[in-house]
Chain A
Amino acid sequence: MNAVAPKDLTVEHWPVREDGLPATLVAALARNAAESGSRIAFREREHGIWREWSWRQALHEVISLAAGLEARGLKAGDALTVVGDNRASIYFAMLAANALGAFPSPVYPDVPVDEFGNYMRFGDPRIALAEDQEQVDKLLDLRDRTGRPETILFDDPRGMGAYGDKGIVSIAELRAEGAQILAERTGLAAELVNRATGENIAVLLYSSGTTGLPKGIPLKHRNVVGGIKNAEAGQYFQRHEELFAYLPTAWVGDFIFTLGAGVLLVATINIPERQETALHDLREVAPTFYLAAPRAWDNMLTRVQVGMADSTNLKRRLFDYFMPKAIELERKRLAGEPIGLGERLRDWLGEILVYGPIKDFLGLSRAERAFTGGEAMGEETFLFFRGLGIKLKQFYGQTETCALSAAQVEGSVKLHTVGKAMPGVEVKIADDGEILLRSASVIDGYADDAEASAKAIVDGWLRTGDAGHIEPDGHLVVLGRVSEVVRTAQGERFIPNFIENRIKFSSFVRNVAVIGAGREELTAIVCIDYEAVGHWAERRSITYGSYAELSQKPQVLDLVAGVIAHVNQAQPEGLRVRRFVNLHKDFDADDGEITRTRKLRRGVIEESYAKLIEALYSGEARVTFDAAITYEDGTRGVLSRELEIREVPS
């Protein structure tokens, strides 16, 4: 928002580790400013125009903010609560906190006020940074209840004019204050760059909290630098990437893959204007490195398929001809079979006519390194993108390891594994089948929770809580959460999430909860994908006026029954889903059914859908269900719906 051009800054010395790498993210920033000072560090789209900051300018921004934050009372060891979407000034402020030996603690913007306190439990956060008016109001509400945060910083001035002081300061003002201090105290900049060490916390993240309160996960600079060193050694990351900063700031993926890797590996971090324009901005950026959750890749695939179905005849025919061939070829490549000359020629032609234009349309024409993780990915989606020539790979990691544990390696990608442990990462399987990890990126322990820390980290080995095994060639197979292993009444062991993922591989199913622990047989509550099923229905002239109506159409029930029956084929007899119901709404984090990272909260589902689950096991054909809904503003409503219960054909 400032019209003045940002100033430059360079500092000669910064803390360095024994292996020569910068010890902290701020040190890396200083190094970049000194060694590649005029390279573009950040680009941000604002009102349609891309603003740029070189590394020298970025260092000046960060150090100015750090001086300003210090004057406002941020001390070493303090947390700075950060809430908002990706913005350059939010990233600068995070690094500024680091310079002071303090740490940012990002919170998902859609967390309601009532839950917000859970994310301010550690590091005594007396200062908070909000992106816009909505988040400021939330923080003000919180201040009325708890007295914290005392100081609220904001980025977007829209609507903020009438707020008076009350400890509310704009980022621009803070930056100006800091720049003033910086100008008065020579040597302060160099001192700020050198203040933090690798032992300081770089960021405090939170576990997803599928059961109970989310745990605080502090990642130290040592962990971040070590993890990214490992990833670079494995060639998962390279220097000078074009990154696209669109992931939620409170997710480990954004801090590590965007900010951490961006600063340590001298990338250019491109920030979209808003969440809603991200897909469009992606195309303008065409990043060389792209990370997205499996769900996002699925959505992209649906977008392409729906778009092609509505396209012109010629395009549709080309697509229908080349795409299956590409997928077939990719299958062969993965299996290591020889590729004939004819196939190569066809692939070359397909690249010109079909694959290239689609990649360009998606904004992935330069995406050399594309990743997915956090959940299992469906074979169809995986092969589609690899067939297009995007070398999509799965990675495996958890917040506790900076999300950098294992990843597939080009040349030995196998669909059912998450690849090999990264260089510098040790992996072994405990006697009970749990995956254990040890590496420089593993945290020392949870925030203020010695008990949980002692349980999770034994002799430097992190107990991941995932069940899995290592194949003879070193590839790691992840089966699911150990804690989620349950038994049916007959004593058959299964992991609901494993079956759910397989059902969700269908683009028609957005969410599903498989029930069956302690029961005679398995049943499922299914949430259809509105876009994919809607389009499917339109092509078949099935009329619908809402999600609820569409979900109960007999043809849609047939469709879902077919999807489940297909999954059942690969399931042992005792672990087949016998009955299901299509829910009248999708699971939603506002209703507490899933976490902000889209993981199921089984306890909540079993409680709020108890009547529905009862009906699934009582053999009724229909059930009238009163569903409670919580709207984003906190008001509650009740919907009464008649839902049909279907048997899955065998």
Chain B
Amino acid sequence: MALLSLNNIEVVYDRVFLAVKGVSIEVPENGLVALLGANGAGKSTILKSISGLLKPERGEVTRGQVTFEGEDILALDPPERVRRGLVHVLEGRRVFEHLTPEENLLAATSMHADRRRVKSLVEEMFGLFPRLAERNRAKAGYLSGGEQQMLAIARALMTRPKLILLDEPSLGLAPFLVDEIFDTIRRINTESGTAVLLVEQNAVAALDVAQSAYLIEQGRIVMSGTAEVLKANPDIQQAYLGGGSNVDYHAVKHYRRRKRWLA
């Protein structure tokens, strides 16, 4: 059975704006699944419907079910979902800038009563992200973008999740940092067996680490399959993989392409 499954989710903002329709997604135990799509396709909305963070944005799941470990979680509030082992790393890092990395990590441990356990978790995170330990004296606001992203991920891992939702971890990072982040994601997935649902615009990087992926366009899934199948699809290559590294921008064509999303 899948760890997380979305069944025909429909999300409406402000009671009028239909953002996502008929979306069904499955994340298996220990799986690493990617959600791809252009800006405004509805990827972040889908993540928020899973973590329960739609309400502050006046969004609502108007149809469908979200089941986690076989249980419908739509009625649960976000903190309860975190307790069940489901954590969401929002887009744009959002660390507590005036706190140190360690204090940031501690902020996520209100659910753990055991001090020793918290201590060992912090050690574990510093082991996973040695850079954070090195910079533990600085305020988080002074960390680089990549370090802040690592901190955000580490802070989420402090809750000991079974599933981590990552929203655009590569946003605004230099290419070598992107590699490092994705390497970390792969390690989290393989070493601790945490399932990952990854939203990415950087389709090349995402398809390299993910086992399977869904492609969202205008609030609907238009294609899904294993990463290999998606990578081989010419429509995806054209639209998301850039079709090769040496693009001659003088030769870019203004074609009206019809995409068939065959898989």
Residues of A within 8 A of B (CB): 110, 132-134, 137, 158-159, 162, 274, 310, 534-535, 537-538, 541-549, 585, 588, 590, 629, 631-633, 635, 637, 639
Contacts and interface: CB of A to CB of B under 8 A. Distances in A.
A274 B55 CA distance: 38
Given A543-B6, A629-B262, 16 more contacts: A134-B254, A159-B252, A538-B22, A541-B64, A541-B65, A543-B5, A543-B24, A545-B25, A545-B214, A545-B225, A546-B221, A631-B234, A631-B235, A633-B234, A637-B233, A637-B262
A538 B232 contact: no
B102 to A, nearest CB: 42
A642 to B, nearest CB: 14
Contact of A541 (B7, B25, B222, B233): B7
B250 interface: yes
B8 A543 contact: yes
Contact of B263 (A132, A548, A632, A633): A548
B253 A159 contact: yes
Contact of B232 (A132, A588, A637): A637
Nearest to A627: B262
A137 B252 CA distance: 12
A549 B235 CA distance: 18
Given A541-B65, A542-B8, A543-B7, A133 B224 contact: no
Given A535-B22, A546-B223, A546-B263, A159 B7 contact: no
Contact of A134 (B21, B22, B255): B255
Interface in B197-237: 214, 221-225, 232-235
Contacts of B252: 159
Contacts of A137: 253
A394 B259 CA distance: 33
B7 A133 contact: no
Contacts of B65: 541
A534 B261 contact: no
B254 A133 contact: yes
A274 B254 CA distance: 14
B116 interface: no
Contacts of A631: 234-235, 260
Interface of B: 5-8, 10, 18, 21-22, 24-26, 63-65, 214, 221-225, 232-235, 238, 250, 252-258, 260-263
B160 to A, nearest CB: 29
B50 to A, nearest CB: 15
A436 to B, nearest CB: 40
6 contacts: A538-B21, A545-B221, A549-B224, A590-B260, A631-B235, A632-B257
Residue of A133, A541, A543, A547 most packed against chain B (CB within 10 A): A543
Contacts of B221: 545-546
Contact of A635 (B7, B21, B234, B250): B234
Nearest to A160: B254
Given A134-B254, A542-B8, A631-B234, A639 B262 contact: yes
A162 B25 CA distance: 45
Given A538-B21, A543-B24, A546-B225, A159 B263 contact: no
B4 to A, nearest CB: 13
Residue of A585, A631, A635 most packed against chain B (CB within 10 A): A631
A637 B256 CA distance: 21
A588 B225 contact: no
Contact of B8 (A538, A629, A637): A538
A590 B235 CA distance: 14
Nearest to B225: A546
Given A159-B253, A538-B21, A631-B234, A546 B8 contact: no
A133 B234 contact: no
B263 A639 contact: yes
Nearest to B234: A631
Contacts of B223: 545-546
Nearest to B222: A546
A110 B255 CA distance: 12
Contacts of A274: 256
B12 to A, nearest CB: 10
Which 4 residue pairs of A and B lie closest in terms of their CB atoms, listed nearest first? A545-B224, A543-B24, A538-B22, A159-B254
A528 to B, nearest CB: 15
B256 A134 contact: yes
A15 B119 CA distance: 97
Nearest to B257: A632
A109 to B, nearest CB: 9
Given A546-B223, A635-B234, A637-B232, A541 B257 contact: no
Contacts of A541: 7-8, 64-65
B150 to A, nearest CB: 32
B21 to A, nearest CB: 7
Nearest to B252: A159
A633 B255 CA distance: 11
Contacts of B8: 537-538, 541-543
Nearest to A585: B262
Contacts of A637: 232-234, 262
